[in-house]
Amino acid sequence: MKEKQTIEKRKFFLLITFLFLTTYVTSQTFKKVYYQDISILGSNLFTIEDIVAKTSLNFPTPLIFVKTTYTEKELKKNLSLENVSVLRQIFPFGLKILIKTRKPIAYGERILKGRKITGFVDDDGYFINEKFSDQENLKKLSSKVFGWKENFRETLSIILNYQKDNDVEFITINLSQNGFLTLEEKNLKTILLGFNQKIIETQLQKINDLKNQLKGKLILEKVDAIDLIDPNNPRIKVFKP
């Protein structure tokens, strides 16, 4: 009988504890989040104001109403982040934002609403606003990208990664407003590639082949421009004094 009473007391205690915790957690999820309840981890480049400005979040707002997945998509796109996680927390209360930034490998410029925006580009071709770019190792950047556009990102990534494993060095990568692509290679000077981004890999291979063929020859120093709009019919323009 005594043992049964003990079991009943334990059950009652566990029930009360469960109800208390459930009530507490529920009340916390409906508790409003303020700026001071937000913590940013992984980067010191961003302020809470930056985060709020680049999302549809409005504070104060109940914790349960924060759309974490949607906010992650907004931040990743608007701040050009490699990855971001937005976590609701009860203990301690608030929002935790984990950020992984992109690593710049080239200087970049783009035109947005008629204004020139300066920044950097990573090896996936993403544009990073100068304000939100990690300044570490920027002195090592050797390439410059002018005229960055979203629909040019994949092509740009192919170009930037190609020079990592091949004997070419692109000083500038320029996309005109009408989409005409031009490169400047350290030794081959100006290279015209044109509008067709679908053949970029073929064109890059031709650039590498031409440089290897001309290496050590006097004509290399006289090359002024190369037309590779049709990679099967390259044209070399030689400087004439």
Weakest mean pLDDT among 8-17, 92-101, 103-112, 178-187: 8-17
pLDDT value at 6 more than 70: no
Which residues, 6 or more positions from 17, have their beta carbon under 8 angstroms from its beta carbon?
A: none
Q: Are residues 147 and 96 in the same domain?
A: no
In a domain, 175, yes or no: yes
89: CATH:
3.10.20.310
In a domain, 117, yes or no: yes
Q: SS3 for 94?
A: strand
**Rg, Å, the chain Cα set:** 28
Q: Are residues 74 and 146 in the same domain?
A: no
Provide the residue range defining the domain that includes 67. 31-100
Which of 67, 83, 100 represents a domain boundary (last residue)?
A: 100
pLDDT category at 20 given cuts 50, 70, 90 is very low
H or E, element range at 13: helix 2-29
Q: Are residues 87 and 176 in the same domain?
A: no
Weakest mean pLDDT among 6-10, 161-165, 166-170: 6-10
Q: Are residues 135 and 212 in the same domain?
A: yes
Per-residue pLDDT, 13: 52
- What are the tens digits of pLDDT across the range 188-227? 999 999 999 999 999 999 999 999 988 878 777 888 899 9
Q: Which two tokens stand for residue 56?
A: 């549809």
Q: In 136-216, at which residue ranges do the beta strands (DSSP E only) sit? A: 143-146, 170-175, 181-185, 189-194
Which of 83, 100, 117 represents a domain boundary (last residue)?
A: 100
Q: Are residues 171 and 85 in the same domain?
A: no
Phi/psi class of residue 216: alpha, beta or left (left: φ > 0; alpha: ψ in -120 to 50)? left
Average pLDDT of the chain is 86
In a domain, 4, yes or no: no
Backbone angles phi, psi at 47, to 5 degrees: -100, 165
Q: What is the pTM of this model?
A: 0.82
